[in-house]
Amino acid sequence: MKNTIRIKGLRQRWLINSLGPIVLVAVLGVVVFSVAIANYYYTGMRSDMEARARAETDAFNTYGMNSYNEFYQQAYSSAENFEDRDKMELQFINSSGRILVSSFGVTAGLSPGTSDIAAALSEGLVEPYFGADPTTGQSILAVSAPLEFNGRVVGAMRYVTSLDRVNRTILLNILLALLVAVVAIVMVYLSNMVFISNVVEPVAEVTATAKRISGGSYGAQLENPYQDEIGELIDSINDMSMKIAQSEKVKSEFISSVSHELRTPLTAINGWGETLLDGGETPEELRRGISIILKESRRLTGMVEELLDFSRMEDGRFTLRLAQVDIQAEFEDTIYTYQALLRQEGIQLSYEPLDELLPPIPGDAERLKQVFCNVLDNAAKHGGAGKRIDAAIRQADNMVVITVRDYGPGIPEEELPFVKQKFYKGSSKARGSGIGLAVCDEIIHLHNGEFEIANAPGGGTVVTIALPMG
């Protein structure tokens, strides 16, 4: 229900924001067009009638004003023979403003009293009149021009036409413009509705799926029939959902794995602690028990350190204390330490020292040694079946390159892209939290170096660490 209301609200806002300006422009356009078309017709009619009135009165003043009788005869003849009586009425007005002769006949004797007549008789001007006919109430346009005799205005010639036909033409044009505007608005509305259906509804589906994901339905997927930006959005949501599902799965596996890893040494420590408390052990059993307790305690400490490092990585507190480091000496110290430890497990750690000494490089000695130890631990843990580990250090261009190779079963090709991800353990059954390699990768990355893991030719895994020398 809430989604439906939001969709309606979004559709409403969309229509208002898109149709509002278009409707406003359409209304303004119709108004401007209406004013322009009315002005065009009215101005054209007025100009034509004024020009005709001036021309006719000039001719009449020249040839028909020699005497009043001749004036009347000429006026009567002009009214009788007026050819445009179907379009307008020709009137002759006497000096008192009364209609003396009319081409219609029925208006003779009337006194219209409009402003055009007054302007022509009193001021000698040619003036138009737009308004209602005082007698009939009909909307008219009238133009009066003065008739002069011996330099004195003695009457006026007046053209009168009904505006009904012109008003109908203007109204028809306005209606046509209004119809075009309405059709345009309807087309825009329909296209907007189609567009909204193609945008809002998919967005609503994406929103609903996003809510399902936020509610715990990790891995939920949307069908994607779109090839545009909506399709890209759906692909992003689907990808995010899958990654969250994978992350949750890895997190669950991590919690289960860490719980198991913690339980094993704690069980050993508790068991031997209770055994030692009971007493009666031989010195050899006592040493063995204390040795196991120390070993498991160190393993717990290492796991806690990894978890602390991971926590620092997650909240941005994982930093380096940089200084000039004798990288060769640090690596060789780690090698010599592990050679004795691995020998006890039947694993040979081979290392051939360089003839020349490498110059110091900027780095954090403690963190780099942490990486070396972790890599050697992993080589023994995952590749110990090969009973051999090769380690080397060399200079290549402006980089110090360290390699550690084991001769174990290697890593399945499909798992290689993920081995440096946090919590990832893949198909390995070896002990561990699954974050050691992620921490190593972060440490080398902070040194502006490269940390690569690959399967070696001939079997086994090779880890390559490249660190810049300056």
Beta bridge partners of 395: 400
Residue 181 falls within a domain, yes or no? Answer: no
Residue 179 falls within a domain, yes or no? Answer: no
- Coil, strand, or helix at residue 321? coil
Quote the strand ranges of 314-441, DSSP E: 323-325, 348-351, 361-363, 388-396, 399-406
Residue 12 falls within a domain, yes or no? Answer: yes
Residue 60 falls within a domain, yes or no? Answer: yes
Q: Are residues 379 and 347 in the same domain?
A: yes
How are strands ordered across the β-sheet holding 139-149? 99-102, 89-94, 152-162, 139-149, 127-132
Q: Are residues 248 and 372 in the same domain?
A: no
How are strands ordered across the β-sheet holding 399-406? 348-351, 388-396, 399-406, 461-468, 450-455
Torsion of CA 414, 420, 423, 424, to 10 degrees: 10
Give which of 366, 380, 361 is closest to 439, Cα–Cα: 366
Q: Are residues 148 and 15 in the same domain?
A: yes
Q: Are residues 282 and 400 in the same domain?
A: no
| Number of domains comprising the chain | 3
Within 13 Å of residue 290, how many CA atoms lie on the same side as its CB?
7
What are the C-alpha distances in Å from 131 to residues 96, 173, 267, 470? 22, 21, 111, 96
Q: Are residues 291 and 331 in the same domain?
A: no
- Coil, strand, or helix at residue 47? helix
Q: Are residues 359 and 398 in the same domain?
A: yes
Q: Return the CATH number at 236.
A: 1.10.287.130
User: How much is the pLDDT for 5?
Assistant: 47
Instruction: Give the containing element (helix H, strand E) for 332.
Output: helix 327-344
Q: Are residues 268 and 329 in the same domain?
A: no
320 DSSP 8-state letter? -
Q: Are residues 305 and 335 in the same domain?
A: no
What are the C-alpha distances in Å from 103 to residues 86, 100, 144, 164, 434? 10, 11, 15, 19, 111
Could you give the CA distance from residue 466 to residue 445 in angstroms, rounded to a whole number?
10
Helices (H), 281-324: 283-314
The DSSP annotation for 255-285 comes to: HHHHHHHHHHHHHHHHHHHHHHHH----HHH
Assess contact for 415 and 436: CB atoms under 8 A.
no
Within 13 Å of residue 441, how many CA atoms lie on the same side as its CB?
13
What are the C-alpha distances in Å from 331 to residues 336, 391, 407, 443? 9, 10, 20, 15
Q: Which of 120, 146, 168 is the last residue of a domain?
A: 168
User: How much is the pLDDT for 62?
Assistant: 73
Q: What is the pLDDT along the chain (470 residues), one digit of tens a residue?
A: 445 545 556 667 767 777 788 888 888 999 999 999 999 999 999 999 999 989 888 887 776 566 667 777 888 888 888 888 888 899 998 888 898 888 887 677 788 889 999 999 999 899 899 999 888 888 999 999 998 877 788 889 999 999 988 889 999 999 999 999 999 888 888 887 777 777 777 777 777 777 777 777 777 787 777 667 777 777 888 888 888 777 777 667 666 666 666 676 777 778 778 777 777 667 777 788 788 788 778 777 766 776 676 666 666 666 778 899 999 999 999 999 888 888 888 899 999 888 888 999 999 898 898 889 889 988 888 776 778 999 999 998 889 999 999 998 888 888 888 787 766 666 565 555 567 788 888 889 989 999 999 998 888 899 999 999 87
Q: Are residues 342 and 306 in the same domain?
A: no
Q: Which of 289, 314, 339 is the last residue of a domain?
A: 314
The DSSP annotation for 348-374 comes to: EEEE---SSPPPPEEE-HHHHHHHHHH
Residue 180 falls within a domain, yes or no? Answer: no
Q: Return the CATH number at 335.
A: 3.30.565.10
User: How much is the pLDDT for 250?
Assistant: 66
Give me the residue label for tokens 């890893």.
Answer: 261
Q: Which of 168, 197, 220 is the last residue of a domain?
A: 168
Assess contact for 164 and 137: CB atoms under 8 A.
no
- Which residues, in sequence order, are CB contacts of 382 under 8 Å at separation 6+? 406, 408, 411, 428, 430, 461
Q: Are residues 163 and 249 in the same domain?
A: no
Could you give the CA distance from residue 234 to residue 228 in angstroms, rounded to a whole number?
10
Computed from CA positions of residues 44, 47, 53, 59, in that sequence, does the dihedral angle turn out positive or negative? negative
Quick one: 43 exposed, middle or buried, by C-beta within 10 A (0-12, 13-18, 19+)? exposed
Residue 207 falls within a domain, yes or no? Answer: no
Quick one: 35 exposed, middle or buried, by C-beta within 10 A (0-12, 13-18, 19+)? exposed
User: How much is the pLDDT for 1?
Assistant: 47
Within 13 Å of residue 71, how many CA atoms lie on the same side as its CB?
21
Token readout for 206 is: 């994406």
- Which residues, in sequence order, are CB contacts of 440 under 8 Å at separation 6+? 370, 371, 374, 375, 420, 451
Could you give the CA distance from residue 459 to residue 392 in angstroms, rounded to a whole number?
18
Token readout for 40 is: 């065009």
Residue 219 falls within a domain, yes or no? Answer: no
Q: Return the CATH number at 123.
A: 3.30.450.20
Residue-range definition of the domain harbouring residue 102:
2-168
Token readout for 153 is: 């205005």
Q: Are residues 12 and 154 in the same domain?
A: yes
Could you give the CA distance from residue 65 to residue 72 in angstroms, rounded to a whole number?
9
Q: Are residues 157 and 29 in the same domain?
A: yes
Residue 17 falls within a domain, yes or no? Answer: yes
